Amino acid sequence: MAKPRSTPLLAGWYVISLRPSGGHAPVRRAAAALGARVLPLSTLRLAALDAGVALAAALACDDVVFTSPAAVRFAARQAPLRPRPGQRWLAVGAGTAAALRRSGVPAPLAPSGRADSEALLALPALEQVAGRDIGLVTAPGGRGVIAETLAHRGARVHLASVYQREAAPPRSDRLRAAVDAPAACALLVSSAEAFDVLWAPLPAADRERLRARPVVASSPRLAVMLAGQGFQSIVTAASAIPSRMLAALAADVAQGRFR
């Protein structure tokens, strides 16, 4: 006799995805695997920047660091990503490393646990970098921790901005659907910038409704930020990879945290 199928851990749940326009597919796949549905609520769009000479210089450095899967994607549209002998190519996390492998970089270095600037900078390969040329393939904005820390350690940092984030306030009907979603609904936050575009214009009543729901932060830094905004039911994931964020939520749901 066939065994009855178990109920997916997130059956009946919704998750609000703040991924940039066109970037919700990985969240949908991760959510579907656990029985959840996705409410897409893009607050940013990504636009290419012509990095030209700056990208060529970054890709020729002793070490080449990519700060996101989008950085890999936009860089690959402008130049082949082919490591030369002796180079080290690094990624801020597992998702960025996977994007590099898909683009032809066979063995990028990346943190094995957390996926953030601090975890990247803790890699042994970036501890002793005095006198080395390091290419940083990224987008404008952000905290600037990677470039600042590497320069402080004595590296010559060559910055190549290959894309930019542009605010894209969500449509009113999608915003209303997210705010009015059932109680079994969690907000996924993997970008402070994406969260700010959502949060800043919200009236107090809508903020309170979102605060009443669980929120999944992709890093301890974002968890602290969300706590500062009044969220109390915070789940901290190991990285911004959607499957890991959904798995962290599912683990807490399975333990009965959000009854």
Tens-place pLDDT, residues 108-164: 999 987 778 888 999 999 999 999 999 999 999 877 899 999 999 999 999 999 999
pLDDT score, position 5: 53
- CATH 3.20.20.70 describes domain 14-43+168-254: no
Copy the structure tokens of residue 168: 């894209």
Give the 3-state secondary structure of residue 150: helix
Taking CA 77 as the corner, what is the angle to CA 73 and CA 80, rounded to the nearest 5 degrees?
100
Q: Please report, as a single letter, which amino acid is at residue 117.
A: S
Taking CA 35 as the corner, what is the angle to CA 34 and CA 40, rounded to the nearest 5 degrees?
95
Stated pTM of the model: 0.85
pLDDT score, position 238: 83
Mean pLDDT (whole number) for 35-40: 96
d(CA 106, CA 142): 28
Q: Counting beta carbons within 10 angstroms of the beta carbon of residue 123, is it exposed (0 to 12), middle (13 to 18) or buried (19 or more)? A: middle
Q: Do domains 14-43+168-254 and 47-165 have the same CATH topology?
A: yes
Mean pLDDT (whole number) for 226-240: 94
C-alpha atoms less than 13 angstroms from C-alpha of 64 in its C-beta half-sphere:
27
Nearest CA-CA partner of 158 in 63, 45, 47: 63
Please say if the pLDDT value at position 97 is more than 50: yes
- Direct distance between the N- and C-terminal alpha carbons of the chain, in angstroms, rounded to an integer: 33
Please say if the pLDDT value at position 208 is more than 70: yes
pLDDT score, position 3: 43
Average pLDDT, the chain: 93
**Residues ≥6 apart with Cβ < 8 Å to 73:** 99, 103
Of the options 3.40.228.10, 2.40.50.140, 3.40.50.10090, 3.40.50.2300, the CATH number for the domain spanning 47-165? 3.40.50.10090
d(CA 11, CA 35): 4
| Domain positions in the chain | 14-43+168-254, 47-165
Q: Answer left, alpha or beta for residue 12, where phi above 0 means left and psi between -120 and 50 means alpha.
A: left
Task: Tell me if 168 sits within 8 A of 45, measured CB to CB.
Answer: yes
Copy the structure tokens of residue 191: 């970008």
**Residues ≥6 apart with Cβ < 8 Å to 31:** 10, 15, 37, 38, 242, 246
pLDDT score, position 144: 85
Structure confidence by residue, pLDDT tens digits, 2-28: 444 578 899 999 999 999 988 899 999
d(CA 58, CA 142): 19
Name the percent of the chain lying above pLDDT 70.
98
d(CA 121, CA 82): 23
Nearest CA-CA partner of 225 in 147, 94, 116, 137: 116
pLDDT score, position 114: 74
Q: Count the Cβ atoms, other than its own, within 10 Å of residue 27.
A: 24
